[in-house]
Amino acid sequence: MDTQQKRLYQARKKVGLTQKQAADLAGLSLRGYVRYELEDDNNKREIPAKVLTVYAQKGININWLLTGNGEMSLSALDGDADSGAPHRLSNGLLAVGDTIFVPLSPVKACCGAGFMVYPADYSLDETVAVKRGDVGQLVEGQLPYAVETEGRSMEGYGIPQGSTVIVNPAESISSGDVIMIIVDEKAAIKKLFVKPDGEEFVASSGERIYATSAELEEGYYVRICGKVMLVISPPEHGV
């Protein structure tokens, strides 16, 4: 029986990776990766987007990997919407089916004490794969992007050290949301609390930054970049 688990095994052999190498490339523990190849009638696990990224970058037809349709390998990574190869949406994002490849910012965001811009022709090896439904609305000119984080002060809010967050500047923001801000030209991840005369940006460690409504409007000290839609934790914290 041709299963998704068997196709993942075949794809790994095709591109010449060990399970450990594939796990490392996907940012998973070896145990976490192996379970996606496990032949088990009860194994209903969907291959995560970060594993799909690894194989898309190696020239594997993601449509074949997920469904069994088409050929295993692709002669090129650029294709049309039905080929199984990553193709560009009208807004510039790379996509395969319901998986989109959001650009990874070269700047890391601090989880402790300008808006991220990326080129329209960013390449697949500079991306993080996520499901479309996880990133919110896609608005041209305000597209989501991935940012790696540093520091432990947001761990109480579910963002472990070394996580990658997906930020969407097009999503509306409310009090209590986790957001990305620029403070003195440095990116930071904080939880937002709206106050009568301004806004407070708080870390789970207790660190607080306050900005008045006038300061926020001016955008000189603190600028809000977007809402954190998804947190991808490092391997030691599970898949």
Please provide the average confidence, as pLDDT, over all residues in the chain.
Answer: 81
Q: Band of the pLDDT at 83, cuts 50, 70, 90?
A: low
| 116-157 pLDDT per residue, tens | 445 556 666 677 888 888 899 988 878 898 888 888 889 999
- Give the alpha-carbon dihedral of 165, 224, 175, 49, to 10 degrees: -20
Supply the pLDDT for residue 41. Answer: 52
Of residues 59, 61, 54, 50, the one with CA closest to residue 130: 50
What is the model's pTM? 0.67
Instruction: Give the span between the Cα atoms of 151 and 160, in whole angstroms.
Output: 8
Q: Band of the pLDDT at 90, cuts 50, 70, 90?
A: confident
Lowest mean pLDDT, pick from 25-34, 116-125, 179-188, 198-207: 116-125
Instruction: Give the span between the Cα atoms of 71 and 64, in whole angstroms.
Output: 6
The arithmetic mean of pLDDT across residues 200-226, rounded, is: 87
More confident residue, 62 or 208: 208
